[in-house]
Amino acid sequence: METIFQLVLHMSATVSAVVGATGYAGIAFLMALESTMVPLPSELVMPFAGFLAAEARLNIWLVIFFSGMGSLAGSLVSYYIGKFGGIPLVRKLGKYVLLDEEDLETSERWFAKYGERTIFICRFVPVVRHLISIPAGIAGMDIKRFCLYTVVGATIWNAILAWIGYLLRENWEILHHYMRPVSIVVFILLSIAFAIFFYKHVAKKIVGSKQ
């Protein structure tokens, strides 16, 4: 458990360092990764970006804009991997980024059940949002609609997280270290979402490798 906690702190520190050093470019890059198969939760990226905006080191509107563009870029990578490589390529690449086969199957079921609107809806769903672009590519979804749903959904979600970081400026040290309880309902929900994401992509594989 201590090892897992240390990994969380290391990931958080790395994300903070990248965003702090590179600004908008770092935000776009990290959110592009977040929208591919790379297990990097936006809950670590966007609140800190919002915090920097509250410190007047970044502009909140540019934070939201560049995060949306990054999300679109990463989603397009996944879309074309699905479109031209299909499941075999996804599985081949996935072993290098801790891809969970169960998560991929869940994403496929969501897309099959709800159709193209899933691209918008799943931007608000932890874990699934990282993989939902793949079944869209496999299904040959119209690229214009894909881009529209992706930009709108991802930008709204990124804006929510950034605004939370903006509002929690005074409590950022608590948020950053995940140590003491914070009596803010939204932060609790974000913590739960991150815990689920981290367990699915990292902790479960650490436990499995030791068995």
Over residues 110-165, the pLDDT tens digits come to: 787 777 888 898 888 877 787 888 888 888 889 999 999 999 999 999 999 999 88
Q: Is residue 190 pLDDT above 70, yes or no?
A: no
Judging by beta carbons within 10 Å of its beta carbon (0-12, 13-18, 19+), is residue 97 exposed, middle or buried?
A: middle
Query: Cα angle vertex 178, ends 176, 180, to 5°?
Result: 115
- Using a cut of 0.85, tell me whether the model's pTM lies above it: no
Residue 1 amino acid letter? M
Give the model's pLDDT for residue 135: 86
Q: How far apart (Å, rounded) are the C-alpha atoms in residues 181 and 202?
A: 23
